[in-house]
């Protein structure tokens, strides 16, 4: 199929786990093959739909470029495959090989060491391809978008969250953020200075007289002063020492008990400080190691460290490179971003949440995709119950969905007329009762019997698809969650089509047309701010 040389928009596509992006009956398909399919589908839709509004002959095409990171992670440079193979059991070797090359990528993404490898590969590859694209297309003025499938969407989301604007000032989370990143200063206190600081900030030792008053032994104050016993000497006294200076048995029990408890607390405090010092040392070593690995391709980088949990674990220390362009949109297909945020302890992002350099986020998923999760409930408390239904590429709903919708409307209509019939009959009975009662009783009965138990509103349910519901700032108030229309055959057994639904996006006309419409829409709204200028590192 011939391709138009005029390129309106550019989209980088990042794959999910494993070396293959799709599975067919006869073979495994790489990301390059899948992106070729998606590019072909988009070309057909551009020729059959006036997406740009400039007419069939006035629009160019959208270039989709694959971004691969799996080979960099599992290559010889990291040595991870060799290490994993050495610890794998020899049984069920085929299944273990599949697990080690695919599912284990999810664990690698939670590892500080291998997450850095993934982030570096994705960012450097996109920057390299963008520079090459600009060199070959110097007149390009369209927008640049990014599309992530499965885990690839999480990689892009985290990378875009750590981008900088306005001279390096982050415009990330404003309210109810993701566990916030803390800046790592270039000059940090040494462990020795930190320990001295802790000693200076420590509480002063209590007076011996105060301790004796606390223990109910004020009569011993004069005896301890005559023996010149200060606090440091006091905590070293044992039962024999106290007996030697004439302290009665009851007093000795109280004092030795206090000294034992104080020493125990002191030991616990020392252990806590040692653990904190060791943790600081590990962080310092990790920062030096990351700095020694070399500068990132994108120019200026930011070192961040994450808040640790009560068990001493948390999100890793990662350098997030800057991209040489500002994406106009993030298209997350079959995405577990919502799940990853929840596992990080995020209860709510808040309506003001937005990505610094990316103005729009679209979460696209098939209703049966077992890997996909919603985002809108994390953005607004009153999120719609259903995701926005993605339009069919032929301009209407699938027949079975329209049939279900019409049946539901018929049921609501029958219910409404039934309730109205009961309401009218109830009203006529009230009128008949009023004719046989006095005015006072009539008024009372009228107030008590005007409403019907179990009454249903005559307005019926509101169709969420026909009402605009603002969803925060992340996409300018537009809907974020978009669900595909399942095919009629898929409704037979949703479990049977669960795996294929996670891989259906590469040949989905509905997905491709939606992405094309959003790219041209965003570019028409604000073409100047869609793309950042390329800067040499």
pLDDT of res. 452:
45
Percent of the chain with pLDDT over 90: 34
Which residue is listed with tokens 């520079």? 131
- How far apart are alpha carbons 183 and 230 in whole angstroms? 45
Q: Which residues in 51-90 are b (16+ Cβ under 10 Å) and which e? A: bbeeeeeebbbbbbbbbbbbebbbeeeeebbeebeeeeee
Mean pLDDT for 369-380 is 94
Whole-angstrom distance between the N-terminal and C-terminal Cα of the chain? 38
pLDDT of res. 2:
53
pLDDT of res. 443:
46
Q: Which one, of 378, 318, 387, lies nearest residue 353 by Cα?
A: 378
pLDDT of res. 126:
97
| CA torsion through residues 222, 226, 228, 232, sign | negative
pLDDT of res. 161:
92
Task: Summarize pLDDT for 174-184 with one digit per residue, the tens.
Answer: 333 333 333 33
**Element holding 491 (H helix, E strand):** none
Alpha helices in 435-489 (DSSP H): 439-449
- How far apart are alpha carbons 181 and 163 in whole angstroms? 13
Task: Summarize pLDDT for 191-247 with one digit per residue, the tens.
Answer: 455 555 545 444 457 888 888 888 888 888 888 888 888 888 888 888 888 888 888
Q: Higher confidence at residue 430 or residue 100?
A: 100
28-29 and 22-23 beta bridge pairing: antiparallel
Q: Higher confidence at residue 271 or residue 434?
A: 271
Which residue is listed with tokens 């047309």? 513
pLDDT of res. 534:
39
DSSP state, residue 458: T
Yes or no: say if 339 and 151 are a contact pair by the CB < 8 Å rule.
no
- How far apart are alpha carbons 476 and 530 in whole angstroms? 14
Q: What is the DSSP string of 157-205?
A: HHHHHT--BTTTB-----SS-SS-EEE--SS---HHHHHHHHHHHSPPP
Residues belonging to the active site? 150
In this model, does residue 467 exceed pLDDT 90?
no
- How far apart are alpha carbons 37 and 44 in whole angstroms? 11
pLDDT of res. 367:
94
Yes or no: say if 503 and 22 are a contact pair by the CB < 8 Å rule.
yes
> What are the backbone angles phi and psi of residue 87, rounded to the nearest 5°?
-105, 0
Mean pLDDT for 320-324 is 93
- Of 133-137, 165-169, 504-508, which range is least confident? 165-169
Yes or no: say if 40 and 508 are a contact pair by the CB < 8 Å rule.
no
- Of 169-178, 305-314, 379-388, 416-425, which range is least confident? 169-178
- How far apart are alpha carbons 352 and 470 in whole angstroms? 12
Q: What is the DSSP string of 313-331?
A: -BSPPEEEEPPSS--SEEE
Mean pLDDT for 53-78 is 85
pLDDT of res. 68:
95
Q: Higher confidence at residue 350 or residue 432?
A: 350
């Amino acid at each position: 199929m011939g391709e138009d040389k005029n390129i309106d928009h550019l989209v980088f596509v990042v794959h999910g786990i494993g070396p293959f992006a799709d599975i067919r009956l006869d073979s495994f398909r790489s990301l390059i093959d899948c992106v070729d399919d998606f590019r072909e589908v988009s070309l057909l839709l551009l020729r059959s739909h006036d997406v740009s509004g400039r007419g069939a002959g006035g629009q160019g095409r959208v270039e989709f470029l694959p971004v691969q990171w799996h080979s960099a992670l599992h290559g010889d440079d990291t040595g991870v495959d060799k290490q994993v193979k050495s610890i794998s059991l020899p049984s069920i070797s085929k299944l273990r090989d599949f697990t080690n090359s695919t599912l284990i990528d999810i664990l690698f993404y939670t590892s500080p060491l291998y997450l850095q490898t993934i982030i570096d590969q994705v960012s450097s590859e996109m920057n390299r391809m963008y520079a090459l694209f600009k060199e070959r297309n110097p007149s390009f003025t369209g927008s640049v978008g990014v599309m992530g499938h499965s885990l690839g969407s999480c990689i892009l989301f985290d990378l875009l969250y750590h981008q900088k604007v306005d001279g390096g000032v982050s415009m990330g989370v404003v309210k109810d953020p993701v566990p916030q990143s803390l800046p790592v200063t270039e000059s940090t206190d040494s462990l020795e200075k930190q320990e001295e600081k802790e000693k200076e900030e420590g509480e002063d030792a209590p007076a011996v007289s105060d301790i004796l008053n606390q223990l109910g032994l004020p009569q011993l104050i004069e005896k301890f002063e005559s023996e010149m016993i200060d606090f440091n000497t006091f905590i070293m006294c044992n039962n024999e020492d106290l007996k030697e200076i004439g302290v009665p048995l009851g007093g000795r029990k109280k004092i030795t008990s206090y000294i034992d408890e104080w020493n125990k607390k002191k030991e616990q405090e020392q252990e806590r400080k040692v653990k904190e010092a060791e943790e600081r040392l590990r962080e310092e070593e990790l920062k030096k190691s990351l700095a020694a690995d070399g500068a990132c391709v994108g120019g200026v980088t930011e070192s961040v460290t994450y808040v640790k949990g009560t068990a001493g674990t948390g999100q890793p220390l990662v350098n997030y490179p800057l991209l040489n362009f500002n994406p106009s949109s993030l298209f997350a297909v079959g995405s577990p971003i919502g799940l990853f945020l929840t596992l990080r302890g995020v209860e709510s992002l808040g309506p003001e949440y937005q990505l610094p350099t990316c103005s729009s986020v679209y979460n696209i998923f098939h209703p049966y995709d077992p890997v996909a999760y919603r985002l809108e409930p994390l953005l607004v408390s009153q999120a719609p119950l259903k995701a926005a239904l993605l339009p069919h590429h032929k301009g209407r709903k699938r027949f079975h969905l329209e049939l279900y919708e019409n049946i539901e409307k018929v049921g609501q209509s029958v219910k409404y007329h039934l309730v109205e019939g009961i309401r009218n009959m109830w009203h006529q009975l009230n009128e008949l009762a009023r004719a046989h009662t006095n005015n006072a009783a009539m008024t009372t009965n009228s107030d008590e019997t005007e409403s019907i138990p179990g009454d249903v509103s005559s307005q019926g349910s509101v169709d969420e698809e026909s009402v605009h519901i603002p969803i925060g700032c992340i996409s300018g108030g537009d809907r974020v969650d978009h669900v595909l229309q399942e095919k009629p055959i898929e409704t037979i057994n949703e479990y049977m089509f669960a795996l294929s639904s996670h891989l259906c996006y590469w040949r989905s006309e509905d997905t491709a047309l939606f992405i094309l419409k959003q790219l041209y829409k965003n570019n028409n709204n604000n073409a100047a701010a869609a793309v950042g200028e390329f800067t040499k590192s």
